[in-house]
């Protein structure tokens, strides 16, 4: 009979939570539709100079709209926090996270003293005020339905997301798979088209 200890261990599945801004995505889609509509009309019906200006403007504006609306996201799994901001991707193993804060913007701090904004989790003062006016609680069920409610405090969606991230950081910081240093990667797929579009618009305006 085989020894159970000799059997290869099965890796624990790592789940990933994604945090994004629905309002930002909706606004980004609307802006992209408008930009493509106006830009394509200029390319089709404009003269040569107008067409080049439209192409340059689209190369400049479309990546920027994507960067600030559709791209931002925060991914949290059992080992690390991955922050996808407009122009950078920051990977933070949980051991490197020293704190998470929401004041005028959502921010994550590292043990080395660095600070990164969480663009995908906006801070809404209006949502906080709305949540504070609606206390939450759990209702106990009696024979004839709900009869009592336990007092509680309802939080804005952004604050709830930060609470989840903070809890993961505290729970997973000591795990071996959560060790390591932060890493930052620039989003060249956004930066390069923006620069090319700006240069093209500048050349067309100078040359006339």
Query: Which tens digits make up the pLDDT trace of 56-101?
Result: 999 999 999 999 999 999 999 999 999 999 999 999 999 999 999 8
**In terms of Cα–Cα distance, which of 2, 66, 4 is closest to 35?**
66
Question: Is residue 54 located within the same domain as residue 89?
Answer: no
Identify whether 144 is part of a domain: no
For 100, the enclosing helix (H) or strand (E) is strand 97-102
Q: Does residue 42 share a domain with residue 115?
A: no
Q: Is the same domain home to 198 and 165?
A: no
* Number of structural domains the chain divides into: 2
77 is a domain residue: yes
In Å, what is the CA distance from 101 to each residue of 107, 111, 142, 165, 174? 5, 14, 40, 10, 21
Residues 48 and 84 in one domain: no
Looking at the structure, tell me whether residues 88 and 159 fall in a common domain. Answer: yes
pLDDT bracket for residue 39 (50, 70, 90): very high
Domain shared by 130 and 45, yes or no = no
Segments forming the whole domain that contains residue 36? 16-71+188-208
Task: Please indicate, yes or no, whether residues 171 and 99 belong to a single structural domain of this protein.
Answer: yes
Please tell me whether the overall predicted TM-score, pTM, comes out greater than 0.75 for this model: yes
pLDDT in tens, 21-38: 999 999 999 999 999 999
Domain shared by 197 and 100, yes or no: no
Q: Residue 192 domain-assigned?
A: yes
Residues 49 and 125 in one domain: no
Same-domain check for residues 165 and 62 = no
Is there a single domain that holds both residue 95 and residue 22?
no
Whether 170 and 193 share a structural domain: no
């Amino acid at each position: 009979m085989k020894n159970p200890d000799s059997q290869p261990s099965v890796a624990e599945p790592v789940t990933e939570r994604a945090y994004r801004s629905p309002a930002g995505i909706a606004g980004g889609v609307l802006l992209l539709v408008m930009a493509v509509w106006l830009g394509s009309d200029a390319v089709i019906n404009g003269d040569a100079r107008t067409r080049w200006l439209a192409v340059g403007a689209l190369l400049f504006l479309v990546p920027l709209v994507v960067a600030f609306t559709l791209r931002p996201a925060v991914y949290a799994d059992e080992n690390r926090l991955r922050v996808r901001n407009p122009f950078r991707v920051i990977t933070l193993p949980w051991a490197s996270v020293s704190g998470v804060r929401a004041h005028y913007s959502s921010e994550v701090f590292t043990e080395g003293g660095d600070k990164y904004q969480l663009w995908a989790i906006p801070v809404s003062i209006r949502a906080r005020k709305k949540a504070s006016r609606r206390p939450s609680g759990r209702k106990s069920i009696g024979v004839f339905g709900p009869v009592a409610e336990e007092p509680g405090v309802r939080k804005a969606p952004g604050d709830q997301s930060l609470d989840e991230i903070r809890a993961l950081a505290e729970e997973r910081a000591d795990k071996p798979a959560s060790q390591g240093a932060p890493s930052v990667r620039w989003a060249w797929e956004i930066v390069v088209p923006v620069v090319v579009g700006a240069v093209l618009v500048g050349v067309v305006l100078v040359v006339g």
